[in-house]
Amino acid sequence: MNSPFCSFALCITLIIFFFPVHGRWHNHAKNHKHSHHHPHFTISQPPSPSPSPSPPLSPSPEPANPPDDNDGGSSFNATGFFDVRHYGAIGDGTTDDTEAFKMAWDTACQSDNDDYAVILVPYGFSFMIQSTIFTGPCKHGIVFQVDGTFIAPDGPDAWPKSYSAHQWLVFYRVNNMSLRGNGVIDGRGQKWWDLPCKPHRGGKGRTKAGPCDSPIAIRFFMSSNLTVEGLRIKDSPQFHFRFDNCRDVYIDSLTITAPAWSPNTDGIHIENTNGVQILNSVVANGDDCISIGSGSYNVDIRNITCGPGHGISIGSLGNHNSRACVSNITVRDSIIKVSDNGVRIKTWQGGFGAVRGVSFNNIHMDNVRNPIIIDQFYCLNKGCLNQTSAVVVSDISYIDIKGSYDIRSPPMHFGCSDSMPCVNLTLANIELFPSKGDIFLDPFCWNAYGDLQTLTIPPLGCLLEASSRSILETQRDYC
């Protein structure tokens, strides 16, 4: 069915096409705003019990007055529910239900309901959706109630050539929206991961030249007052969630899963986004559980179970000599297990800007290869040249970090720029033991300045003492 929205969506697609999303290849609500509190150096009890996946799917109650099957699916019912089945969705897992979802969205978005309009994706159905942009702003708030299953097209060959390969489901310029439910979002990433251009590990796999774009499963772009909660999302071709240029984001009780070897499958990535809470969630994937990009600030991450994966990362920042600014980040009361990294800050040489005001507090490490790491020499091909400029890293605290580390790497690694040292690093109550044997590896430091408030295990004898003020006076962060 042709509609003005179809042509408008095409325009928006072209707009977003000019904001490409580049992967990072790694080998190693009623209207409400969310407040963010960042207590400094507070020692909390570790999460007990640790977050667990959402309970098994159970049918959600039907709306009190569901749409009349005989109304053609074109009218809005008294209770503000818009069941996608009444707009032509079949839900058999094979039929393309994209147009039905777009019609339900358009109708709900423009409805005159005084409260939230609820788009219902019912339990017991599997809906196959093509790459789609849901566009706002809407007249009122939107609740996207996902109790059934979303399914992506099955790999690159099933992806229409005219559709963007950068993203699957996009919410653009949407305010006051909740994406929630007990349902499943299945990105069907296997065939994307198996492209010959992807980094393969072990066996006879070889990386080959060729198109390598893979879609992000869910992307929020230029949106605000967002809530995402309760969902299970799995096997995204690339990032599972990405938030670009958003504000006031509340994420709670998500379960994100992908194989540990799956390339570039970050759980939640934020970029140029502020006012974020990520709470009570489980992420096990092939890349960073949570990654924080440039332009992000006021981020509170709590009660996360992360791993296997690459840990919780700030960066990478400053690639291609770019400016990067990140500040006021808190990660606390969380567990990181069987991961390549624990809590990490990574920057490229040649960038500029600053990472400041970061607190890692009350985190348990379980067999993590690099529990605490700052890497200002981040490089993927090991052929990067030394450069003078660097993203400034300062005012970083590590409080109450305990557990075990994989003995292949030191438990603490502070690799800081020759010209821009890391300053104002604060450590207290750090106890990290080898996961095997009883031989402790010495921490590594390079041009790192800070303060030990307590003795650490193993002893951190390489941290330099100096007046941070004198060092900072020589640093320009451009933020």
Give me the residue spans of the domains in the chain.
238-465
Confidence class for position 471, pLDDT limits 50, 70, 90: low
What pLDDT does residue 386 have?
Answer: 84
Phi, psi of 437 (to 5 degrees): 75, -170
Q: Residue 223: what residue type?
A: S
Confidence of residue 478 (pLDDT cuts 50, 70, 90): confident
Using CB atoms within 10 Å of the CB of residue 128, give its burial: 0 to 12 exposed, 13 to 18 middle, 19+ buried. buried
Q: Give Cβ neighbours of residue 91 (< 8 Å, ≥ 6 apart).
A: 84, 85, 97, 122, 124, 125, 126, 127, 148
Residue 398's CB is within 10 A of a number of other CB atoms, namely 23
Place 445 in a pLDDT band, splitting at 50, 70 and 90. Answer: very high
In whole numbers, what is the pLDDT of the chain averaged over residues? 84
In one letter, which amino acid is 376? Q
CA–CA distance, 270 with 295 (Å, rounded to integer): 9
Catalytic residue among 86, 310, 364, 413: 310
With a CB cutoff of 8 Å and minimum separation 6, the contacts of 205 are none
Is 36 designated active site? no
Is the pLDDT score of 70 beyond 90?
no
Global pTM reads: 0.83
Mean pLDDT, rounded, for 5-30? 40
Answer for the pair 461, 441: CB distance below 8 angstroms, yes or no.
Answer: no
d(CA 319, CA 213): 19
The tokens of 171 are what? 């919410």
In tens, the pLDDT along 376-402 reads: 999 887 778 888 889 999 999 999 999
Contact assessment for residue 430 and residue 412, using Cβ atoms and an 8 Å cutoff:
yes
Within 10 Å of residue 97's Cβ, how many Cβ atoms? 27
Indicate if the pLDDT at residue 60 is higher than 90.
no
Model confidence over 186-216: pLDDT tens digits? Answer: 999 999 999 988 875 444 555 666 668 899 9
CA distances, 342 to each of 23, 95, 308, 309, 355 (Å):
21, 42, 11, 9, 18
SS3 label, residue 292: strand
DSSP H or E stretch at residue 191: helix 190-193
Of the candidate CATH numbers 2.60.40.1150, 1.10.10.10, 3.40.50.300, 2.160.20.10, the domain formed by 238-465 belongs to 2.160.20.10
Could you tell me which of 223, 198, 237, 82 has the C-alpha nearest to residue 145? Answer: 82
C-alpha separations of 158 from 161, 298, 325 in Å: 9, 40, 39
Residue by residue, DSSP assigns 22-40 as ---------S--------S
Assess contact for 46 and 132: CB atoms under 8 A.
no
To 5 degrees, how large is the angle CA 50–CA 28–CA 424?
70
**Selection from 38, 13, 43 nearest residue 454 by Cα:** 43
Round to whole Å and give the CA distance between 443 and 374. Answer: 12
Does residue 17 carry a pLDDT above 90?
Answer: no
Which of 230, 186, 228 lies closest to 55 in space, CA to CA?
230
